[in-house]
């Protein structure tokens, strides 16, 4: 089996591992095998602020993300950038609550605040163009595979405490989310495989809500750090 074929099967295995912890651990252990002359592999982590475009009453929701990435060299300074964010959420907060059909519950949480949180595995497919081996621009598509989704009903009671109710709403969302992703970044060192920082913006194209009269399109701003794993001295020579 060729090295490219092995990398492909490892990539598929990582994508469909059952837990994010297992995926990250396997990524660290296989860093040497996944890095080649044409492929840069590493971990990506950062902070995301997500929004729901079609609900005016909502405000941004902050999340922490972690995953792994591949930069596959296509030409001298051009790359195909992909990978998987294995721990990532989208959604929004600050919305009014809604009735669920239980009069006692509805009365208690009528003045509460609603937070929507949707868990995804995100796979970006981007064209990544570097300039002077330090600055880069990238853009393309991002596909999201939904795993879970919850609505959180929050209420501050009269005694200063907080009441919270967590409702599983996974059946109210489509399985896939697709949108445009674009951004820019900077490599800390002027070397082919080195730590980079960047920012991306995601704009969801499809309505992920199955509920009648409710439209939900996701968007987010993502600040991240990419750290190569398993690189060798020859991998970091300036080109």
Q: What is the pLDDT of residue 37?
A: 76
Closest CA to 52 of 182, 218, 177: 218
Confidence of residue 122 (pLDDT cuts 50, 70, 90): very high
Q: Tell me: the pLDDT tens digits for 205-234?
A: 999 999 888 899 999 999 999 998 866 555
Weakest-pLDDT range from 59-68, 70-79, 84-93, 160-169: 160-169
Q: What is the DSSP string of the chain?
A: --HHHHHHHHHHHHHT-S-HHHHHHHHHHTHHHH--SSEEEEEEEEEEEEEETT-TT-B-EEEEEEEEEEEEE-SSSEEEEEEEEEEEEEEEEEEEP---S-HHHHHHTTT-EEEEEEEEEEEEEEEEEEETTTEEEEEEEEEEEEEEEEEEEEEE-TTS-EEEEEEE-GGGB-SEEEEEEEEEEEESSSSSS--EEEEEEEEE-S--B-STT----EEEEEEEEEEE-S--GGGG---
Question: Could you give phi then psi for residue 171, rounded to 5 degrees?
Answer: -70, -10
Q: Where are the domains of the chain?
A: 3-236
- Average pLDDT, rounded, for the chain: 83
Q: Tell me: the pLDDT tens digits for 4-54?
A: 444 444 454 444 444 444 445 555 555 455 667 788 988 899 999 999 988
Q: Tell me: the pLDDT tens digits for 133-155?
A: 889 999 999 999 999 999 999 98
Report the alpha-carbon distance of residue 214 to residue 94 in Å, rounded: 16
Q: Which CATH number fits domain 3-236: 3.30.565.10, 3.40.50.300, 3.30.70.141, 2.40.160.20?
A: 2.40.160.20
Q: Are residues 69 and 82 in contact, defined by beta-carbon separation less than 8 angstroms?
A: yes
The pLDDT of residue 1 is above 70: no
The pLDDT of residue 203 is above 80: yes
Q: What is the pLDDT of residue 192?
A: 82
Q: What is the pLDDT of residue 172?
A: 94
The pLDDT of residue 237 is above 90: no
Give the mean pLDDT of 185-197.
Answer: 90
Q: Cα–chain-centroid distance for residue 54?
A: 20
Report the alpha-carbon distance of residue 52 to residue 170 in Å, rounded: 16
Q: What is the pLDDT of residue 18?
A: 45
């Amino acid at each position: 089996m060729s090295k490219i074929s092995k990398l492909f099967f490892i990539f598929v295995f990582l994508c469909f591992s059952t837990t994010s912890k297992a995926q990250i651990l396997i990524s660290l252990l296989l860093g040497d095998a996944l890095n080649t002359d044409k492929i840069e592999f590493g971990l990506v982590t950062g902070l995301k602020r997500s929004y729901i475009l079609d609900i005016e009453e909502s405000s941004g929701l902050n999340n922490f993300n972690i995953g792994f990435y591949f930069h596959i060299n296509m030409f001298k300074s051009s790359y195909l950038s992909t990978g998987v964010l294995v721990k990532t959420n989208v959604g929004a907060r600050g919305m009014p609550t809604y009735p669920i059909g239980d009069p006692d519950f509805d009365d208690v949480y009528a003045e509460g605040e609603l937070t929507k949180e949707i868990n995804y595995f995100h796979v970006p497919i981007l064209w990544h163009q570097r300039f002077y081996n330090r600055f880069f621009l990238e853009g393309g598509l991002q596909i999201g595979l939904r795993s879970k989704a919850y609505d959180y009903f929050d209420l501050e009671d009269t005694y200063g405490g907080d009441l919270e109710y967590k409702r599983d709403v996974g059946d109210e969302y489509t399985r896939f989310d697709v949108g445009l992703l674009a951004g820019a970044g900077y490599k800390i060192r002027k070397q082919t495989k080195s730590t980079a920082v960047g920012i991306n913006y995601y704009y969801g194209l499809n309505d992920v809500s199955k509920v009648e009269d409710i439209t939900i399109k996701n968007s987010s701003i993502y600040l991240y750090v990419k750290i190569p794993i398993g690189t060798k001295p020859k991998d970091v020579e300036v080109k």
